[in-house]
Amino acid sequence: MSTVMNGDCVTPAFGLNERAYHRFFGTPRWDWLWQRSLLKVLPVVNFSERDHAEHGGGDVCDAFASFAAARLPREGMCLVSTSGMWGGLQHVQRGFEFVRGKLYGARWSAANLAQLARRLDPDKPTVAMHVRLGDFSSGREPLEAYRGEFNVSIPLQWFIEIGTRLRQAWGDRLQFQVFSDGTPEQLAPLIKAVGPVDTSCTWPSDVSDLLAMSSADLLVCSISSYSLWAAALSKGPYLWFAPQLQVHEGSWGSIWGHEPGQGADASLTVRSLRAEMNGPSPANRCFAHWPGSELDAAMMESLEQCLSRRRRTADLVRFGVVPIRRAAQG
C-alpha cells in the first residue's frame, strides 16, 4: 500500500508486542510512543475491510489505489491506518515477496536456518508439522465442533496418525520436523512415532521456524494464522484438519465459507467452489485430512515426485548428470 501512495511503511508497534517481536525487526521498544505522536500531529485516514470491499475487493493494492484517489488529501501528509487479516490472504498475494524479504532479513533468521539445514539430509523430502498446544484452547468434542474455529488445539493423535502412515509408506526416505510450543511430555508420543530432526535453535526462532515450515516439502498445519502464513509462503503441498472446514455442497470444504461475506455469489469462496466443481481434476497442493482416514493418493504422488527432484546425481548444478541424447528430427 505504501508503494501506491509513494509513502513510507510504518511497522506495527512491536514494542508493545507480548512476544517482543521488536527484537527480530530492529524496532525500538518505544516505537509505540512515536506512533502515538504521529496520530496526534497528522490527519488519520483508516482503510478498513469494508473500504476494501467497496473499492472492488480483490488485490489490496488495486483497491487501495481506488480508495486513495477518492479519500486521501491531494496535498500535505497524512497517516493511513489499517488492521486485521480480513480472512484469506488472496488480496495480499502480490506482497508475499516483500513479506519473505522482511522475514529472511530479520535478526537470527539466517543463523537459525543454517543450524536447521545442517541437520537435514538434502536428498530427503522434509515433512514439517506445526503443533500448537501451549497458549491455545483445548480440543473440541465432537469433531463437528471444530467447524469454523481458530486458535484451538488439534488432537495430537491426528498428527501421530499422519506421521505413522507416512513412515509406513516411506520408511526413512522421509525426514520430519516438529515445530511446537508443547512440552516434551506432551509431544513424546509424536516424537516416538516420527523420530523428527531436532528443531531447537540457539537464538529465538519465532521467525525462522515459520520460514523453515514454508520451505518444507509437506506442511501439516495447525489451526492458526502462523500455519496459514507458512502455507501461503510455501510452494509445496499442505494438510489441513478437515473437521475445521466449512462444508459446502458436493462435499467441498473451505476455511472462511462460514463468514457472511463469503456466502455471496460474487465472493471468492463461492467463485472457487464453482470453478472446482467444474474443474478438470482435484487439487494437488492442499488436502483436507479426516482423523482415521487414509492419506490422499495425490499427496503421496507429490512426495514421490519431490523425492525424484531431490536426487542429487541427476541435478546438474550439484555435480549431477542428465541425458543429452537429441530428440528425433520430425
User: Which residues, in sequence order, are bridge partners of residue 44?
Assistant: 79
Is the model more confident about 250 or about 245? 245
Tell me the pLDDT tens digit for each residue of 146-161: 998 888 999 999 999 9
Domains contained in the chain, CATH given:
14-84 (no CATH), 103-312 (3.40.50)
* CA distance from start to end of the chain: 52
pLDDT at position 319: 96
User: Which residues, in sequence order, are bridge partners of residue 209?
Assistant: none
Q: Give whichever of 7-16, 156-165, 250-259 has the largest mean pLDDT.
A: 156-165
Distance CA 325, CA 90 (A): 43
Give mean pLDDT, residues 179-185. 95
> By the 8 A CB rule, do 14 and 22 touch?
yes
Cα torsion angle, 132, 136, 140, 144, sign:
negative
Task: Identify residue 281 by its one-letter amino acid code.
Answer: S
Q: What mean pLDDT value characterizes the chain?
A: 91
pLDDT for 196 beyond 70: yes
pLDDT for 138 beyond 80: no
Distance CA 166, CA 124 (A): 13
> By the 8 A CB rule, do 232 and 96 touch?
yes
pLDDT at position 126: 97
Distance CA 326, CA 215 (A): 35
Tell me the pLDDT tens digit for each residue of 111-130: 999 999 999 999 999 999 99
